[in-house]
A and B are shown apart, each in its own frame.
Chain A
């Protein structure tokens, strides 16, 4: 049972952050695509803006790894 809970906690850590990242990127991506249609020179800024929420899932991944490795 304990193992199941640990796995579930790790899954939550990565899953929720992945969902959050996906949601944030969808919003930024849609706005970014609109911006690029009018100002293609902003491609650098848009790439950066789209990539920013990925930190969430990376942090989630680290936490999930820590949960799996430190609580086993």
Chain B
């Protein structure tokens, strides 16, 4: 249900503002209403103004904002690792931290810059290494070659090899050697060996043809080919070591300082949120006052706490919530433990308005019933009950998952119940093994009764939805809407009786009075709901027919289970039969979790909630740590 919210005003001497706000933050049940000025009584506007922050508060805010920014900058320089919790009270050391952090930032920046330079060098050397490794496999241990020049190329297109060879023949008069090899990364490395006398000409020509030479770093230029290869490999190893040392140093630093800075950042964020909130506070010459919302159940507790803490100097007063402010009242859903997991299913929809109804109890009652009616197999139900019970224990601590498995557990219990009514235990396996017979109806052979049953459920659900719409309209104080909802409910019931009498499900005697009733009420329906009101009514009939899915989806499930058992029987071998049946039942079980869940949800979201729920509620966001 939607918890009752009270509008409250807290008043006290200006000097106590921060302490009162801290106290409210500790309690975590008060949401400040920033547009307070709208609820100031007429004539008082001249004496009340938004709270002006003094010089001290402003400088504190600037200091804290700056500190938070610096902490974030420092964290961006540090590795993300899990750290211990620090129990140091950050407030007394805030000034020291503010002095230390600049030093830490510049130190971390320097180390990071050094790491970046090393990583860049390593990337470049790796490129050379790939190239040199590929060529080393061709040239082997070549000695000093003072008359020859080596030009390295990285060839992107293998087709270029022929073209380069042709070009070199023309320029060098066939005085060249052109070797290629595939490097580790898949690229083609090329090496042109030419006399030093013509190397300048070749380099210029390659540049003109946009075939850039792989330029080696200056340190490698004067070395022989094998020396180049050894030097690159050695340097890569040294760099890897240096990077590793930096990582260890940064990790050590993070372990030592991150817990403290995290603690400080949290404290700073709390102080800043308090300082920001003062912008939503109002003041007179001597006093401050804060207006906002809190759950009515908590008002007494807050009143007592404020009275005790401030010896009666600050006070809290509950105010009347005017109708025009109802749309601004935040919404808190408070449900008994049984319904609480079902809030998960409501969470996917926008919040209902404060004047509307909480859909959680309704989905908590009907969702498992619909799920059970659709799945309706005791065997599958027992498997799902066991599975969800185990999973609840396994995923303990993850609230959403626990809630989801709790919903599955409750729904599976209903599946067992309906399974007994339908006489289904893994399809007709129960009947074959233990002679299990349906207590109520066998779904497979009773298509029409099941359609009628589903339609009856739909009709009842729709009537409930329309009646809730009527109640919601009364709660909202809208008489015309309430009358419209009432007439819709009445005519809807008449139409159901009419259809039932036409199909001779109820005595034909009802037909005439019901038709008369519809004809009399329809003009009033149009008057209250507009010209489209009859169309809305027809939509409700369509919604009711939509409940046939309870039967339809259930029938597919039971037929698949039946087919699994038949196929298993046809194999003629026990082991193969068990395997085939197990596989098909597993498939049916998986479908049996998703399909009924989605269709039951849809029946609620589209058909049922549309009749009474008004979305657009504001989330309750209390001031808390």
Contact = CB atoms under 8 A, between A and B. Distances in A.
Interface residues of B, number: 18
B605 A62 contact: no
Interface stretch (B33-41, B167-175, B196-204, B545-553): B545-553
Contacts, number: 45
B545 A58 contact: yes
Interface string A39-59: 000011101100110110011
B238 interface: no
A47 B598 contact: yes
A58 B552 contact: yes
Contacts of A69: 448
Given A54-B602, A58-B552, A44 B348 contact: yes
Contact of A55 (B349, B542, B598, B601): B542
B349 A58 contact: no
A72 B507 CA distance: 24
Contacts of B605: 44, 47-48, 51
Interface in B425-484: 447-448, 451
A7 to B, nearest CB: 16
A45 B542 CA distance: 20
B553 to A, nearest CB: 9
B601 A47 contact: yes
Contacts of B598: 47, 51
B548 A44 contact: no
A51 B602 contact: yes
A65 B451 contact: yes
Contacts of A43: 348
Q: Specify the main secondary structure of chain B where it touches its partner.
A: helix
A43 B348 CA distance: 6
Main secondary structure of the interface of A (DSSP, over half): helix
Contacts of A62: 451, 545, 548
B575 interface: no
Interface residues of A, number: 15
Interface string A16-29: 00000000000000
A52 B610 CA distance: 13
A33 to B, nearest CB: 16
B545 A54 contact: no
A51 B348 CA distance: 15
Given A47-B598, A54-B602, A55-B546, A65 B447 contact: yes
A58 B548 CA distance: 7
Contacts of B546: 55, 58
A52 B605 CA distance: 10
Interface string B533-546: 00000000010011
A62 B552 CA distance: 9
Contacts of B448: 65, 69
A6 B233 CA distance: 83
Contacts of B451: 62, 65
Given A44-B348, A47-B348, A69-B448, A61 B548 contact: yes
Nearest to B345: A44
B599 interface: yes
Nearest to B346: A44
A65 B455 CA distance: 14
A58 B602 contact: no
Given A61-B552, A62-B451, A48 B606 contact: yes
Interface string B549-582: 1001000000000000000000000000000000
Nearest to B543: A55
A56 to B, nearest CB: 10
11 contacts: A44-B348, A44-B605, A47-B605, A51-B599, A52-B602, A54-B549, A55-B545, A58-B546, A58-B552, A62-B548, A65-B448
Given A48-B606, A59-B545, 19 more contacts: A44-B347, A44-B349, A45-B349, A47-B348, A47-B598, A47-B605, A48-B602, A51-B601, A51-B606, A55-B546, A58-B546, A58-B548, A58-B549, A58-B552, A59-B542, A61-B548, A61-B552, A62-B548, A65-B447
